[in-house]
Structure 1
Amino acid sequence: MTVPLSILDLVPIWEGSTARDGIAASMRAARLAERLGYHRLWFAEHHNTEALAASATALLISQAATETERIRVGSGGVMLPNHAPLMVAEQYGTLANIHGERIDLGLGRAPGTDMMTARALNRSSAEPQAFAQSIYDLQGWFGKEGTGRSAPIHSAVSAGTEVPIWVLGSTVNGASIAGQLGLPFSVASHFAPDQLDDAVRIYREAFTSDGPTAQIDRPYVMAGINVMVAPTDEEAEREFTTLEQMFLDVQSGLRRKIQPPVDPDALAARGGRDQPMLRIKAVGSPETAVAHLNEFARRTGADELITVTYAYDPAVRERSLTLLAEHWF
């Protein structure tokens, strides 16, 4: 059985464009994703970067949900240490009241930025126990009574919305937290593949549906994978160099917007094509990409795949989404 495909959007800003352009392109992609049959669309949270406009995730989710009708829309994720949990409950409760049951809340413990910016944003603890306690409180605010479980604070706007919570992670620590809380787990294998197999195994081993935070009765894994689909393998490999350059920029400290693709051989000569962080990928013609996706789904046993596609030209990204959907669904 073909697993559902979803999309993680970081709202790229390409060279020569503005954040306004990037947001507009992402909204066009949201409308397209719904027409093509993708299951959900999530927006990530990042700060202090020239290349991405995905910072205020709740606002992006609201706009994307306004411009669509059926696709699930959510955060992939809210980096909880950057936020007061009560404010998260109020924001996502408001989204659920406006847009109905299509809203997801994915939560992560990483800051989504550098340490200096993280200190400027910090509002809550990233320690595992504090993270779990925040989830416990959020479930109370989303519950029928709308009251936090560690303090009698009431949130009328989130009460009764029952916004589903996901735990995001890239390590065995995040997997263990998700399993012990009885929540679905989204593994960030698209940029942190080293602990993928162990994380999925530990999540399933740790999973329990008996605790007070459990919201599903069996483990559910969504795994991230980088995707670029083009008419030919060669063209897809060339387009994928845009993402490879972005990772080189991060490693070298070069701050610039999303760059146009370059000759793959020239990039390889600079050491830009052998990046272990990007080895989870499906790049090529539709047939090649689908084969890689199927292999990845079998390896992980994932219940759902969430795809990440960067392109310098938004039309190239839209073509990739379309070609994949036509050959997957």
Structure 2
Amino acid sequence: MSIPLSILDLVAIPEGNSAREAIASSMASARLADRLGYNRLWFAEHHNTPNLAASATALLISGAASVTERIRVGAGGVMLPNHAPLMVAEQYGTLANMHGDRIDLGLGRAPGTDPMTAQALGRSSAEPQAFAQSIYDLQGWFGPEGQARSMPIVSAVSEGTEVPIWVLGSTVSGASIAGQLGLPFSLASHFGPDQIDQAIQVYRESFKTDAPTARIDKPYIMAGINVVVAESEEEARRQFTVVEQMIIDLHQGRRRRIQPPVDPDSLEGQRALSQNMLQISAVGTPDMVKAQMEAFVERTGADELITVTYAFDPAARDRSLELLAKLWF
């Protein structure tokens, strides 16, 4: 395939492991992804989630950028209403000053957590107009003049870094915002598959190259897909039960860390809880996964894919990354 392939990492914490161990495994995987030729590595913001260690994305990005040389590293994403835009500009401008032109900033409007935790984060408005204004200000702080349009006397260390901004979303609302702002769109199809076809259409139809925030001259879509590759279909299906259990736990309100793989047949009575959310997945041997991913690209017309691979054993995740890279690049 000719389109770029990237990785989304939520820094999963396996049962029996600590956040420290999960982060160390994530950094080791970052080095591997850099060597294998993946285009970018993004970390997604989540809070009050016991099975994920991806809450402070800027710190994870700095760690990953420090142990890699080529791969782009960024946020997929920062849930912008959880943060003051000036602080985001300062953090990501600092990252760009430290690591050069390898930093991406994906922005979302979702809380990335439950309502009580969102309140504890001091969450501000997620309304589309407020979200768009924050992006407008961020671009000002990243620009050569280093000033937000709505606050022209406020400058930041991010001046001149021109950190690329993406809009994240899984619905037509997020797609419309991305299109109207003339920005690249990261489609969260790996967990929000219900509106992907409509969202892609809305994004392309609403795309404005003359928007004040526009930074690309045509629509660009990076779509998410769950991927597990193994030497046999049976082993891939067994490894996929790790994320299936995670989604089943989410629906049942069960708070526990990432569980080891199980016999796929043992989940048959509960699989309905995870099937819809995980329908955009490629699972199997290298040839099977390649065919499934190619079909998804044909369906969506995606310009890039971003893969999500959960594993109880970091070695299984790294093996999947290796097999995928061998068949894709």
Smaller-chain TM-score range? over 0.9
1:157-306 equivalences under 5 Å are 157-271=157-271, 275-306=275-306
Q: Which amino acid aligns with 1:16?
A: G
In 2, Cα distance between the equivalents of 1:265 and 1:123? 42
TM-score normalised over the length of structure 2: 0.98
In 2, Cα distance between the equivalents of 1:141 and 1:274? 41
5+ residue gaps, structure 2: none
In 1, Cα distance between the equivalents of 2:222 and 2:109? 17
In 2, Cα distance between the equivalents of 1:172 and 1:116? 26
The 1:251–1:153 alpha-carbon spacing in structure 2 relative to 1, beyond 3 Å, is farther
Deviation at 1:152, TM superposition (A): 2.1
In 1, Cα distance between the equivalents of 2:114 and 2:4? 33
Question: Secondary structure of the residue that 1:163 maps to in structure 2?
Answer: coil
In 2, Cα distance between the equivalents of 1:59 and 1:213? 27
Is the 2:251–2:273 contact (alpha carbons within 8 Å) kept by the matching residues of 1? no
Deviation at 1:273, TM superposition (A): 7.3
5+ residue gaps, structure 1: none
Deviation at 1:73, TM superposition (A): 0.2
Is the 1:84–1:123 contact (alpha carbons within 8 Å) kept by the matching residues of 2? no
In 1, Cα distance between the equivalents of 2:146 and 2:6? 30
Q: Percent identity?
A: 73
Is the 2:89–2:156 contact (alpha carbons within 8 Å) kept by the matching residues of 1? no
Is the 1:45–1:112 contact (alpha carbons within 8 Å) kept by the matching residues of 2? yes
Deviations 1:185-228 (A, max 9, x none): 00000000000000011000000110110000000000000000
The 1:255–1:153 alpha-carbon spacing in structure 2 relative to 1, beyond 3 Å, is farther
In 2, Cα distance between the equivalents of 1:164 and 1:69? 19
Question: What residue in structure 2 maps to residue 4 of structure 1?
Answer: 4
1:39-188 equivalences under 5 Å are 39-188=39-188
Is the 1:72–1:102 contact (alpha carbons within 8 Å) kept by the matching residues of 2? yes
Cα root mean square deviation, aligned:
1.0
In 2, Cα distance between the equivalents of 1:5 and 1:273? 29
Runs in 1 of length 4+ with deviation above 4 angstroms?
A: none
Is the 2:228–2:283 contact (alpha carbons within 8 Å) kept by the matching residues of 1? yes
The total of aligned residue pairs comes to 329
Deviation at 1:135, TM superposition (A): 0.3
In 1, Cα distance between the equivalents of 2:273 and 2:311? 16
Question: Secondary structure of the residue that 1:325 maps to in structure 2?
Answer: helix
In 2, Cα distance between the equivalents of 1:51 and 1:188? 20
Is the 2:190–2:225 contact (alpha carbons within 8 Å) kept by the matching residues of 1? yes
In 2, Cα distance between the equivalents of 1:46 and 1:274? 19
Deviation at 1:274, TM superposition (A): 5.4
Question: Secondary structure of the residue that 2:209 maps to in structure 1?
Answer: coil
Is the 2:83–2:123 contact (alpha carbons within 8 Å) kept by the matching residues of 1? yes
Is the 2:248–2:270 contact (alpha carbons within 8 Å) kept by the matching residues of 1? no
Deviations 1:61-115 (A, max 9, x none): 0000000011000000000010000000000000000000100000000000011
Deviation at 1:272, TM superposition (A): 5.5
Is the 2:182–2:214 contact (alpha carbons within 8 Å) kept by the matching residues of 1? yes
Deviations 1:99-133 (A, max 9, x none): 00100000000000011101111343100000000
Q: Which amino acid aligns with 2:275?
A: Q
Shifted more, 22-31 versus 155-164: the winner is 155-164
Q: Which amino acid aligns with 2:186?
A: S
Deviation at 1:253, TM superposition (A): 0.6
Shifted more, 115-124 versus 208-217: the winner is 115-124
